[in-house]
Structure 1
Amino acid sequence: MPPIRRRSIAWIALVATLILLYLYNTSTSPPPSYTQPNLHTNQDDNYFWKSLPVHYPPQSMRPLPTTTPVKYPNIQTPFDEETPEAQTTRQHRQRAVKDVFAKCWSSYREYAWKADELAPVSGGKKNPFGGWAATLVDALDTLWIMGMKPQFDEAVQAAVTIDFTKTDLKQINVFETNIRYLGGFISAFDLSGDERLLHKAIEVGEMLYKAFDTPNRMPITRWDIHAAINGRRQTAPPALLVAEIGSLTMEFTRLSLITGDAKWFDAVQRVMDAMADQQDSTALPGLWPLVVSAKDQVFNIGNTFTLGAMADSVYEYLPKLSALMGGQMPLYQDMYEKAAGAAIKHALYRPMTPNNEDILISGAIKSEDGQITLDPSGQHLVCFLGGLFTLGGRLFNRPQDLSAAIKLVNGCIWTYQALPHGIMPETFHMLPCPSLAGCEWDEQAWKKEVLRLAKDKDKDTTSVDAIIKRDRLPQGFTSIPDRRYILRPEAIESIFILYRATGRPALLDSAWAMFEAINSTTSTTLANSAVRDVTLPREQQPELADSMESFWLGETLKYFYLIFSETDVISLDEYVFNTEAHPFRRLVPRRAEEWQSF
């Protein structure tokens, strides 16, 4: 009997294990964040980029952290059960977004297949990102999220044929290649589990890893790829944009987590350690200057600071790295909190508006000889900041960040509504109130600032009223240097994140108004196009620029679709988005335990 009992117990245990494995693999819950070390890398040893000789190998390799993940607070708020009326409205809006995406995808498929971009007016094609099918790769996860399975399968079959050893470009932008291609493949793999996508991610990762083959292991961000292909030695540049060197962390780290190969994590962590060491010694402690030196590893010299273009994602990735790794690198929370504190104190301003709206805009800063000067500018791109502060506020229990996030998002919504076509321009200036507490509308003060800025630009200016009419300045705006809208996603990105975190119903209506305005203004016969001037009167159609960057399908329409999805679709408690809106699986305590149990 004892042997029979032991066999019975063993059989029961085996059956139970198989059932658990079946339930695990068919569950709607995401699979583990780790896979077996090196499971997916051995067969790639002969790949060109991996087989190239290394001129400056790292003297040591930092392993991936193995501490227990932190249990962060939930980012998403609990949502009440949806009413039938609300569901009908939401689903109608979601279908409208999907229809626009499907139209654009169909035209890309017909006129620009495997090119980087479709020219949405002429029907031509463009290749500004290496000619490696940027739109196709950027849209893989959007196809999956929207349930367009046949199109996804066809796109994957095309993606596996991309050759990352050939390009007509003299140099490639490592940052853009990282966020679009590496991020796109990783996300599509994380969502679908298709091993072919992971192999392509490894190919891109191996290529980009060669950009770190310099004497000090700092990367070349505008990279002469042909010199690398020919085996030439290279040196990191003495001057580069801070975003381009500080925004490689999510993609490299996630690739290391998936493959178990720490080399990508080690590569980017060297950069971030140096940046962390110098964060408190800049001219504006907590923030890094816009231009830094990779060659000399100097990240603290310079007097221009911004959270906008050319710096944005270096700050964006700080709390996102914390979320991605389950808090196993406390360094990133510390870096974020220093940056957020400095930004709220110095970069944010409340603009004077006709109805005294309680909103915030993020400007640029100069710090010279101890004097800090605010440039009260605004950018569509910097609208990402509301989403960033929402994430940081939730993850790290910082109510001041969430308060700022709400006012920043409201600022972006207000700016959209203030323009004739309901769309924010690329850049603008406003008149700041003396403090964040606000100020009363003063038309004469506004006009005085309009005149001052115009005289700085054009010495032959006439009356201020003529300038306002000529430049089509809505009340509150003192200048609009760049009147374009290039299909940017940042405003809807932050509205989506804030909605998932707070559940404010008004955000859904703001998102819908934004979508309708964008689509009606940018729609072409084939797809959607950037436009040159959103300050024109409502009845006058802006000129189409015949440009549709890959982020229109990879980011903008994805965020519009997700805000009108069920709130558990790509939950912010399960995923974290890279700066190109590619969701990566977060490492959370539950998932780590699941992995360890198998």
Structure 2
Amino acid sequence: MPVATLLPFTATPSRKSASPTSFRLTEKFILLLVFSAFITLCFGAIFFLPDSSKLLSGVFFHSSAVETNTRTGTDSDSNVAVGTEEKILTKIRKDHEKALVEAKDTLQKRPDEIKQDIQDEKDKVLKEGKGGKDYNNLPVIEYVRPPGATGHEPSDPETKERRAKIKEMMTFAWDSYKRYAWGSNELRPVSKQGHSSNLFGSIKGATIVDALDTLYIMEMFEDFDMATEWVEKNLDFNVVFRRKAIELGEKLLPAFKTPTGIPWALLNLKSGIGRNWPWASGGSSILAEYGTLHLEFMHLSKLSGNPAFAEKVMNIRKVLNRLEKPQGLYPNYLNPNSGQWGQHHVSVGGLGDSFYEYLLKAWLMSDKTDEEGKKLYYEALQAIETSLMRKSSGGLTYIAEWKGGLLEHKMGHLTCFAGGMIALGADGAPEDKTGHQMEQASEIARTCHESYARTTLKLGPEAFRFDGGVEAIATRQNEKYFILRPEVIETYMYMWRFTHDPKYREWGWEAVQALEKHCRVEGGYSGVRDVYASSPNHDDVQQSFYLAETLKYLYLLFSDDDHLPLEHWVFNTEAHPLPVIRKEMTDKPSQLE
């Protein structure tokens, strides 16, 4: 039986291979697959789709039954198909006639009678949902659609042209995937075939799932429909309805059955037995795994009416609060049995990154009511500034790694997300530190830009160092690769939103030009093995997160601020937007109780 990983963490610089009987779905798949993509897009279609009433009535996207019944085939079954079509048309005519009668009756009523009818219908829905259930045994939940799921074209001609170019890049990447790798997890753009590493196990379609909201945000609606149809018909677990997402969420809950409540990294979905990676400091749980559940699980509790999901992630906080933290820092490893830290290795890059991001975003998604999350974030940021943040002799600010009390003066590409995170949280900073934190964010953005500018291909390495007389340069061969990562672009997008300094759009456009020149091949986009080489040596993988994150953040960088406005949306660590849960909604008598 395949073993599914529980947690959507940001991948480490060197990914470990799983055993033949298990698989590791790291930064871009399982909770992205289940919670981020499906909760946000499938049930979250309430926010995106023009007619969200179809979802609440149990109809989603297309009716496969109608498609099947009306599809013509051989001569022997064509008559059946024709007969079915006539029956459908007859039913449509009858429904139409009935609707006309009802409309005529309504027009003859007084305004106060119409108003009363509307109220009666509302009361009926509420009464039916009072037991907390609809026909799928789920709570009836009212949502106010946040604005900005799509956006208008920028008025500035150059920005409009560049934004259109990003959409063309997305179209090319998606069309290449459709042509050569449809249904596979990822695309090999050089060899023009499907690709699936052991990270994905037996599940297929990672690129389809990952790209769903990007397709919608860029208004590629036909492709969006094609993708959702594939998900509905082909994805393992058939997770396309809100009901199915909740069912799978419930299957993940046994992972929390540890003495501390800190979840296992791996869970057998059939037996409910969990375990951790043997390489992770004696089988410890990993900070960026168990610490990157909060947004999805809180959202899932709201959608399901089941408080268990929220309780699980809140318990993680309780455990962490009880522990003594070395220099205020959170080590990357925690033993779920003993509740003690493992190896004292601290990183704001791989193994640790998204934990800090989620402390801040938990506060933002709660409409700034989660004061504990806010407090923990700013305390952690202060510890990072004191113990890890350094400035090179050349004036570049970087975030080092900490191993057993010693600093390693290395910064990973993954760590470059921190510039955007710090900017996002600067407005709520304590003791009037907003300006200071914005300056920190700006300096980190500059450092990460330099890591790109100092390469031959103008693309950033996986990690870069500040020792031995070098600054912002990769010195080890296994750190010189670029796999289409989004973190630097992510920081540019946030910095543009908060400062409107044109350099961030210029830096983003430099990245676009480098991607087009060195990563675009005949069959899509490929990573490169050495960004310091005179010509690119392609790794032949178009990562799913290139469509989900890199191109999405580039598109938003060249969009107006009212496209997915940050006061209404929070991006999870995989760049999938979740709506802010408004305080006034939580203050109302809950439909979930």
**Fold equivalence (TM over 0.5):** yes
Q: State the alpha-carbon separation in 1 of the partners of residues 472 and 187 from structure 2.
A: 36
Residue equivalent to 1:509: 506
SS of 1:265's partner is: helix
Query: Per-residue deviation at 1:297?
Result: 2.2
Aligned match of 1:191: none
Question: Is residue 463–residue 480 contact of structure 2 (8 Å, CA) maintained in 1?
Answer: yes
Structure 2 counterpart of 1:555: 549
Tell me how far 1:42 sits from its aligned partner.
4.0
Instruction: Say yes or no: does 1:366 pair with 2:399.
Output: no
Q: CA RMSD, aligned part only?
A: 3.3
Distance 1:38 1:119 in 2: 47
In 2, Cα distance between equivalents of 1:40 and 1:271: 32
2:317 to 272, 281, 284: 272
- Which residue does the alignment assign to 2:285? 240
Residue 206 of structure 1 is aligned with which of 238, 250, 267?
Answer: 250
Contact 1:253 1:265 in 2 (8 A): yes
Q: Which aligned pairs between 1:69-468 and structure 2 lie closer than 5 A?
A: 87-127=156-196, 128-130=199-201, 131-164=203-236, 196-214=240-258, 216-223=260-267, 225=268, 228-229=269-270, 231=271, 233-234=273-274, 238-278=283-323, 281-285=324-328, 287-299=329-341, 301-353=342-394, 358-368=395-405, 373-396=406-429, 398-399=433-434, 400-431=436-467, 449-450=468-469
Deviation string 1:263-293 (CA, Å, 9 cap, x unpaired) is: 2111222122211222xx12221x2112211
Distance 1:220 1:593, change over 3 A: closer
Asked whether the 8 Å contact 1:235–1:295 carries over to 2, the reply is no
Distance 1:202 1:350, change over 3 A: same
**Residue 418 and residue 506 in structure 1: after superposition, are their counterparts in 2 closer, same or farther (change >3 A)?**
same
Q: 2: CA distance between counterparts of 1:37 and 1:328?
A: 28
Kindly state the Cα deviation for residue 206 of structure 1 after the two structures are TM-superposed.
3.0
Amino acid at match of 2:317: M
Q: Deviations over 1:508-554 (max 9, x none)?
A: 11111112112211111111011100011xxx321000112211011
Does the C-alpha gap of structure 1 residues 232 and 99 become closer, same or farther in structure 2, counting only changes over 3 Å?
closer
Return 486-495 or 130-139, whichever deviates more.
130-139
Q: Give the C-alpha shift of residue 234 in structure 1.
A: 4.2
User: Where do 4+ consecutive residues of structure 1 move more than 6 Å?
Assistant: 15-18, 593-597
Q: Offset of 1:209 from its aligned partner? A: 2.5
Residue 132 of structure 1 deviates from its aligned partner by 3.2
Unaligned runs of 5+ in 1: 1-6, 21-34, 46-75, 167-184, 186-195, 432-448, 451-472
**In the alignment, which of 544, 549, 572 is matched to residue 566 of structure 2?**
572
- 1:392–1:83 CA distance, 2 compared to 1 (3 A): closer
**Compared with structure 1, are the counterparts of its residues 283 and 119 closer, same or farther at alpha carbon in structure 2 (3 Å cutoff)?**
same
- 1:303–1:366 CA contact under 8 A, matched in 2: yes
Question: Residue 493 of structure 1 aligns with which residue?
Answer: 490
Cα 1:503–1:125 change in 2 (3 A) is same
Q: Distance in 1 between matches of 2:132 and 2:276?
A: 29
Offset of 1:163 from its aligned partner? 4.8
SS of equivalent residue, structure 1 residue 584: strand
Instruction: Quote the Cα distance in structure 1 between the aligned partners of 2:284 and 2:383.
Output: 24
**Contact 1:325/1:587 (<8 A) preserved:** yes
- Whole-Å separation in 2 of the counterparts to 1:492 and 1:407: 15
Question: In the alignment, which of 534, 539, 544 is matched to residue 545 of structure 1?
Answer: 539
Distance 1:336 1:415 in 2: 27
**Is residue 214–residue 233 contact of structure 1 (8 Å, CA) maintained in 2?**
no
> Match of 2:443, as an amino acid?
K
Amino acid at match of 2:515: I
Displacement after TM superposition at 1:202 (Å): 2.4
Q: What secondary structure, in the 3-state scheme, does the structure 2 residue paired with 1:581 have?
A: coil
Q: Which residue of 1 aligns with 2:575?
A: 581
1:241 partner amino acid: I
Structure-1 separation of matches of 2:357 and 2:287:
12
Partners of 2:366 and 2:583 within 8 A in 1? no
One-letter amino acid of the structure 2 residue matched with residue 559 of structure 1: Y
What is residue 469 of structure 1 aligned with on the other side?
Answer: none
**Displacement of 1:144 after TM fit?**
0.7
Matched residue SS, 1:308: coil
Aligned residues of 2:451 and 2:473 also touching (Cα < 8 A):
no
Total equivalences in the alignment: 456
Separation in 2, partners of 1:40, 1:529: 46
Q: Cα deviations across residues 351-381 of structure 1 (Å, max 9, x unaligned)?
A: 233xxxx43111112344xxxx322111111
CA distance in structure 2 between the partners assigned to 1:527 and 1:156 by the alignment:
22
> In structure 2, what residue type is equivalent to 1:430?
F
CA distance in 1 between counterparts of 2:422 and 2:293 reads 20
From the superposition, tell whether residues 594 and 112 of structure 1 become closer, same or farther in structure 2 (CA, over 3 Å).
farther
Q: Output the TM-score relative to the length of structure 2.
A: 0.70
Of the three residues 475, 480, 484, the one matched with 1:479 is 475
SS of aligned partner of 1:160: helix
